[in-house]
Amino acid sequence: MFEHLKEQPADKILALMEAYKGDPRDDKIDLGVGVYKNPEGITPVMRAVKAAEKRIWEEQETKAYTGLAGDPAYADAMISLVLDGAVPRSAVSAVATPGGTGAVRQAFELIRMANPGARVFVSDPTWPNHLTILKYLGIETVAYRYFDSKTGGVDFDGMMEDLKGLKPGDVVLLHGCCHNPTGANLTGPEWDAVIATLNEAGAMPMIDIAYQGFGDGLDVDALATREVASACPETLIAASCSKNFGIYRERTGLLMAISQDSSKQKVAQGNLAYLNRQNYSFPPDHGARLVTLVLNDDKLRADWQSELEDVRLNMLSLREQLASEMQRLTKSDRYGFIAQHRGMFSRLGLSTEIVEALRKDHGIYMVGDSRINIAGLNKETVPVLAKAIVEAGG
């Protein structure tokens, strides 16, 4: 049977990671992998998470299953964090998932169950896993313009023109904050216009929010998601705890299905639990238990928010430093957008030839479309990157 299997294309980011590992140069710089790193190049375990793990180790008396949807306390804590009362709790169905990717996958599965003919509109560009999962599930995908490589901002006119093609029952996938891979976000008025377009077309929003707290702060980063959830008849939200809690390997996510008609909540909850059962049965609990404990303990939550704010400000400082250094070296503002972007990523608008030259000649690794992880830098390596970009012709 296995002779009928076909070779699958290598994941470009994972391949980049392997190439970086094999590079013997001591001064190499990894700007490809999408994990937060502190100035010492370490992805730390957050203080509050460590304290929560110790408490769980001391107090936990069983490892029995929690339920198909996961621990209800986890869902309640995450719904409060993301939505903060924007919609009644009775309108929200939710299940724990293996990371944000699991939430995205289950959301697409639910869309296919509810409307096999639904099309999913996806920003160009978007996180590659969005596209590969949609393709695997056989769901039709429609790209809408999003990033303007000339300005480093959002091509909002192009986006709105493309969304005119929406039909009732279609889904529009949106990034709640810190757009991956570009770092360019919609403004408040632009979000309002998108919501109006969705409602006029009878289309449903699906929000992937993986970086809450990494952009402008926990509440500001969730404002658009809350507005969409309260203004649209139905909304799907895939949330991840990997980044803002630093628990990447614990695979901790949550899928929310929101309906303004709360009578639909029970059937939606049942279908989400059914999908969990079919795909992996009971979801993992350790990361979810950590998140629940941190969010529900005043002292731990305050410490977590303080450390998360340090993470956010570190990335903003690096953005401002890189934009300033590029301005100094190029005598222009053409890289000023770096300071305006939010989250871990920015797309620099460099050609594939320049990206390759940076890797070959300078040991600087970034994704082929010139997406960089800003957290892969520190104060010492920012000038190194800026100088290399200019020398390579950027």
Residues forming the active site: 127, 208, 210, 243
For the chain, what is the total number of helices (H) and then of strands (E)?
14, 13
User: Pairing relation of β-strands 371-373 and 345-347?
Assistant: antiparallel
Query: 127 by DSSP, 3-state: which?
Result: coil
Residue type, 169: G
Concatenated DSSP letters of 98-120: EHHHHHHHHHHHHHHHH-TT--E
Within 13 A of 83's CA, how many CA atoms are on the CB side? 31
Write out the two tokens for 269.
């909850």
Classified as helix, coil or strand, 227 is: helix
Q: Tokens 């909850």 — which residue?
A: 269
Quote the CA–CA distance of 92 and 229 in Å, as a whole number.
10
- Which amino acid, one-letter code, is at 203? A
**Which secondary structure element, helix H or strand E, spans residue 154, and what is its range?**
strand 153-154
